[in-house]
Structure 1
Amino acid sequence: MFIERNIKFFYLKIFRRVRSFLLSEKSRKVLIFLFFFFISSGFWLLQTLKNNFEIELAIPVKLKNVPNDAVITAEPISELHIVVKDKGTTLLNYFFGHDFYPISLDFADYQDLGNHVIIPASSIEKRILSQLSSSTKLVSIKPDVVDYFYTMGASKKVPVRLRGKISTGRQYYLTDTVFSPDSVLVYAPQSMLDSIKYVSTHAVLLKEISDTVHTRVQLTAIKGVKFVPSVVNLTLPVDILTEKTLEVPLLGINFPANKSLRTFPSKVKVTFQVGLRRFKSIRPENFVFDISYEELMKIGSEKYKLKLKSVPAGVSYVRIIPNQVDFLIESIPAYGY
């Protein structure tokens, strides 16, 4: 109750002060000044609006009657920007009381122009002028052409490629680059379609990542080409690197039936880095040394520097200990009857 009484008292106090000010001599002077100020401003505005001005207006553009089997691969602009000149009173009408009808482009009227339709803005100038006052001067039209691309269903699937730079934190590495979907449908005029082998993403720049990244990326637009979809999901799996050592036997390749290879030692240690997820799956048989009979016969020495013929995917920084071995080619005796 006390609070309501205080609020009522406060508003009564404010009301009395406002009424006292409005009935005072000072208030009358202020009101008289404001009255003549607005009158003079009105006359100034009316006088100013009699002068000529230039303004920019926007007129919508619409492509209509597109056949069901036609695919618009690059839409025409949605509006034309025109600069007009007239008296201020007329220009005010364009701003506040005039809605422009869209400039309609009938697909059939331009179908004979090919897959890339180019319509000079000057050719639709009459349709613009028909919506303007007779006193209005059309100064310019931007852009100076309206164009669009279309195809009558020509399409193909192409793979998606990553564009950008990815770096991982220390002791981490990128195991793969996964897109979903990994390919997209491309619609384009046949002449353009033949040259498109893949589609790139917008630049992806990531530094020092240490965990798997999931994101959506936009495909890089090509004028006159439509991608379905135009956005794909990107997954960048990241794994931590660890070191592993295996003993791998040395075996000869392409040896004749009556020859065999002996190396000293018969096994070497292969130390490498691999992701923690693949640590257990890497086995000695995944490493193959290229010790061919033909090469051993050419070197003229009993020492051979080891070279790996195949390395499992995801393995890096491979070290071989020892990286050079002694060898001996033995003849296998033939046993007859």
Structure 2
Amino acid sequence: MTARVLIVTNDFPPRPGGIQSFVHGLAARTPGVAVYAPAWPGCAEFDRRQPYPVVRHPTSLMLPTPAVARTAARLVAEHGARTVVFGAAAPLGLLAPRLRAAGARRVVMLTHGHEASWAAGPGFRSVLRRIGGHADVVTYLGEYTRARLAAAIAPDKLVQLAPGVDTGRFRPEAEPGRAKEALGLAGRPVVVCVSRLVPRKGQDRLIAAWPEVLAAVPDAVLLLVGGGPYRRRLERLAGGHESVRFTGTVPASALPGYYAAGDVFAMPCRTRWGGIDVEGLGIVFLEASATGLPVVAGASGGAPDAVRHGETGLLVDGEDTGELAAALAELLGDPERARKLGAAGREWIGREWSWDLVATRFHTLL
């Protein structure tokens, strides 16, 4: 099978994550595509379900080494690929000259939060400038990441391309309450956070704020959906309290049901390490809005691009547990306002973040 477009990416399912779902969504909507990505548990079964070829690197991480370059160049030549898309510009974008030599005529590089972080440090910035020099187009998620990237990437190469949301999958419940019932939470107000358990996402701040929320809404539940290296620390912080629930990692196919179990979505992300560890956008905010939930987000990095303060949710200082608790208690205690914010978010996502719009923009860049 020939492919006009080769996507070279470290971020691809079944590995979970927002970037992975973004790149997969682009691949699924691009005719004549092939993908080169790292191995991940369950990838063989996943790859069999795709209508395009997926070639797996034998390990879980690809770096711009000679071996990866040889394989990518071979795929360009074998498929006659005229366009190469790097799922994340750094660091695999360093392979671009080799792939042009193999026959690629156009190079498109996607960027996310970590490229914006690279642009902040002199050493990494010089590498990012070199990477961007090999591209025809470099995409950015929103105004925050564009401003950061402009320190290293020529402005005329920068084009906005943010993730789309499948509003058919992520949507308000047809039968309200069914998702809560399935999780044993029937009748209880639920704050849900869907994310990897890492410090930047702010689950620790949610747990710290939770006693104040419970003082206002005694039967509320905090539902933390996802796995990650911070789980043990978070469990210690929660102290086994019945109202804080951990699901662990869940399959992507099950995520809509977890969003639907919430009354409010919250992820008080924060910038760490002087801007090195920062949220690029936060697709979970968009998925929550598509589900009809009001969103409480940390005013950090690119998160404000995914939430309209006072219209689709509330932006808070992710470090201020008092401000966070007040926002959560306010929305849980005022279901009518929460409903209006959620409905406005659903309408906004359908109008400006649909996959049809994103796919059209992407195909124009190709």
TM-score using structure 2 length: 0.22
Instruction: Identify the structure with bigger relative contact order (alpha carbons < 8 Å, sequence gap 6+).
Output: 2
More strand as a share of residues:
1
In our comparison, the structure showing a higher alpha carbon Rg is 1
TM-score using structure 1 length: 0.23
More helix as a share of residues:
2
